[in-house]
Amino acid sequence: MARPTKLRCVAQLPNIGFFRPVGIPTNALQGVRLSLEEVESIRLKDLEGLEQEECAQQMRISRPTFHRILESARKKLADALINGKAIQIEGGNFELAQRLFRCGDDGHEWNVPFEAMAQKLPLSCPKCFSGNIQPMPLPTFDSGRGCGRRFRGGRRW
């Protein structure tokens, strides 16, 4: 019997879940599916510029597993860009890190639940309704704290 897949820690959900090339009719469009952990690997390595070991630690997986996820994501992105395919971001085996926000006006801090994050990021403080809010840094993952909400399989975020 195979060992169960370890959930990957994803720090944030992408704002956009679907990309498609312009000029190709929808009925003729092929697509690729990127999982949330593949998107997270691209974000950490290519956007944030972290080393693979740091990326693996943040996702709570081994470095070889991180490398396999990253290579899969890059191959799918290259296929979509070169061959004019749509990119759908959904599903995967991941845990969502909780997000903490702070109001810049009154200092109020609050956690945003997964369901609200999946809909949209908060636009104002729930206490004073100020739009001056900032996301707080996520806790370090080596502190023994879990990652948060868990999802397996093809669930959409």
Instruction: Tell me: pLDDT of 144 over 50.
Output: no
- Reported in sequence order, the residue ranges of 35-147 that DSSP labels E, i.e. its strands, are 86-89, 94-97, 99-103, 109-112, 133-135
pLDDT tier at 156 (50, 70, 90 boundaries)?
very low
Per-residue pLDDT tens over the stretch 102-140: 899 999 988 876 556 656 667 788 899 898 988 776 554
Q: Look-up: residue for tokens 């997000």?
A: 99
CB atoms within 10 A of CB 51: 11
Closest by Cα among 60, 55, 18 to 157: 18
What are the domain boundaries of the chain? 8-98+144-151
pTM: 0.67
